């Protein structure tokens, strides 16, 4: 079982408006049987942090085109 994961999530460029205007969120993801991945994190963000207009942030099982997702300052699409 994967241990809980602590993350600092930061939203900017207007995306913070979808999260009650809060730019930084310190979160702890719960235990689950498989390791967390970005797609699961996006679902968790949608269900637990997103306050309004999910269609402006999520499209299908990923972020909408034009939203840049960085993991430790690197584009998530370049991650292995």
Q: Examine the pLDDT at 3 and tell me if it is beyond 80.
A: no
pLDDT tens figures, 20-55: 999 999 999 998 888 888 889 999 999 999 999 999
Number of compact structural domains in the chain? 1
Residue owning tokens 């205007």 = 21
pTM flag (> 0.75): yes
Q: Which residue has the higher pLDDT, 21 or 78?
A: 21
CA 42 to chain CA mean position, Å: 4
- Tokens representing 36 are 């967390």
- Tokens representing 2 are 């994967």
Q: Residue 65 is part of which domain span?
A: 5-78
Predicted pLDDT of residue 77 = 82
Please list the alpha-helical segments (H only) found in 1-80. Answer: 38-48
């Amino acid at each position: 079982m994967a241990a809980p994961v602590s993350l600092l999530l930061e939203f900017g460029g207007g995306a913070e408006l979808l999260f009650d205007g809060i730019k930084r969120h310190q979160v702890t993801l719960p235990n689950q049987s498989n390791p967390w991945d970005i797609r699961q994190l996006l679902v968790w963000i949608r269900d637990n942090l997103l306050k309004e207009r999910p269609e402006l942030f999520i499209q299908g099982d990923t972020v909408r085109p034009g939203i840049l997702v960085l993991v430790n300052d690197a584009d998530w699409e370049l991650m292995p």
